Chains A and B, each alone.
Chain A
Amino acid sequence: MGFLLEQFEKSGVNKPLLVRPNCISRSELIDRANLKAKTHKEKYMRVNSAHVEDFPADFLAAEMLSIPLILGDGKLEDKLGEVNFFTSGTEGNPKLVSKTWKQIFSSVKESESLRGNLWFTAFNPLLFAGLQVFAQAVVSGGSIALSCGDLDKDADFLRQQKNFNINATPSWIRNFIIFSDTSSIEPRRIVLGGEAVDQRLLDNLSKKFPHAKITHIYATSELGACFEVRDGKAGIPVELMQDNCKIEDSRLFVKRNGVWIDTADRVELCDGRLIFKGRAADVANVGGRKVSLQDVEELYWDIDGIKDIVAYPVKNSVCGEIVAIDVVCDKSNIDRIKEKIKDISCNTPDKFSVARIVNFVERIQTSAAGKKKRV
């Protein structure tokens, strides 16, 4: 019996594994997998985001056939593993990562308090974070509900649930609390990952969901989960780092199997915590000067009324790039915020590191992985 099927059987329950988009029990998923395996002709099983209606059945079918499972539409490589998915990579180019189901399930937690929970996930189920949620739901005898892409509908759905956890990127949940009515939504847990979490968001989440345990996880597709933080503070306490981490040129390196891996995350140590300053690629080249886009966002974040903000580089023939920001706020506040941004920019001595272009938008775009897009 394959590892994945064994996990299905082991959980010992027949409640639906998938609740949304469709409600499908474990036994029915196994039946569907058997049917898919009988009719599948290709040498690998590819699943893309357009067809996730019964994605666990595809996972099982691939295992039954002992063929590689390919998640997403990216370009394949010659060498394929058991489970193959695409990640944004360190410099923005999608790359293929291969893992076994055993590796994907290795960081799953088994605990009575998690048994039978509903795992609502805004993570793409075909990317690493989504696969972790899938694995957790399988092992803990729970169910998975996928975000439908409509925040109001997601909110309505969650309002009817009990014993559920929300798993999402900081950008997704920020949009969720800004744009949806989250009253009467009471998650047991909120698990954040995929992006740096700032203290502002953690504080807002604690106020909105006072009974939820909030965890933020630092993980990469290549390394897996590295750190979990539950103390309500941004960054990672240095005590968790031990000898497995080092900082070089402000970049975080993590040791795996004796090898130092460059995470391409920019970090700094502050008050006993490792604070994430953004991806190494998230810089603008302004007249030859590297400017951190996250630092530019930080300049304006505390302006009263700003709900969300993203900085990104804009090319020009004069100095390479300048920094633009898209700002989300109530329309009634735009004029005041515009003036405040102008004040801050004019009073910042380093003119390379301010936003030169300011746009007011309805919402910040996010990628398929739920992360802020810097375009």
Chain B
Amino acid sequence: MQSKIDILETELKAVFENNKKVCPPLTDDTPLDSTFGLDSLDWAEFAVRYQKKTGVDIFEDLNLRLKTYSDLKKLAK
């Protein structure tokens, strides 16, 4: 069974692919600012995809400021 981290990565890549955007390398330090390449609609799409697979709204309780990919992975744990 896929872990939530694996699902996170799969669905994130799917959003890039779906919108014909290039996914940057997903390392812990990868910044999630505008250079990451996703706009708010893309993030919304990701949230819906992730929730469909896990049942979890990853952005529901946003106590953490998302600066890097590592921060996003923390939400998925």
Chain B residues in 8 Å Cβ range of A322: 41, 44-45, 48
Task: Indicate whether B3 reaches chain A with its CB closer than 8 angstroms.
Answer: no
Tell whether, in the assembled complex, residue A317 and residue B60 are in contact, meaning their CB atoms are under 8 Å apart.
yes
Separation of A194 and B54 alpha carbons in the complex (Å): 38
Interface size on A, residues (CB 8 A): 16
Q: Which residues of A contact B44 (CB under 8 A)?
A: 287, 316, 318-319, 322, 356
How far apart are the CA atoms of A352 and B40 in the complex, in Å?
Answer: 10
Chain B CB within 8 A of A225 CB: no
Q: How far apart sit A114 and B49, CA to CA, in the bound complex (Å)?
A: 53
Please give the number of chain B residues whose Cβ is less than 8 angstroms from any Cβ of chain A in the complex.
17
A375 CB within 8 Å of chain B: no
Residues of A within 8 A of B32 (CB): none
Question: What are the residues of chain A within 8 A of B18 when measuring CB–CB?
Answer: 342, 345, 356
Determine the chain B residues whose CB is within 8 A of the CB of A286 once the complex forms: 41
Residues of A61-117 whose CB lies within 8 A of B: none
Q: Is B57 an interface residue (CB 8 A)?
A: yes
Listed in ascending order, the chain B residues whose CB lies under 8 Å from chain A are: 18-20, 39-41, 43-45, 47-49, 51, 57, 59-60, 62
6 examples of A-B residue contacts, CB within 8 angstroms: A316-B47, A318-B44, A342-B20, A345-B19, A352-B41, A356-B18
Q: A316-B59, A322-B48, A356-B41 given. 20 additional CB < 8 A pairs?
A: A286-B41, A287-B44, A314-B48, A316-B44, A316-B48, A317-B47, A317-B57, A318-B43, A319-B40, A319-B41, A319-B44, A322-B45, A342-B18, A345-B18, A345-B19, A346-B20, A352-B41, A356-B44, A356-B45, A357-B45
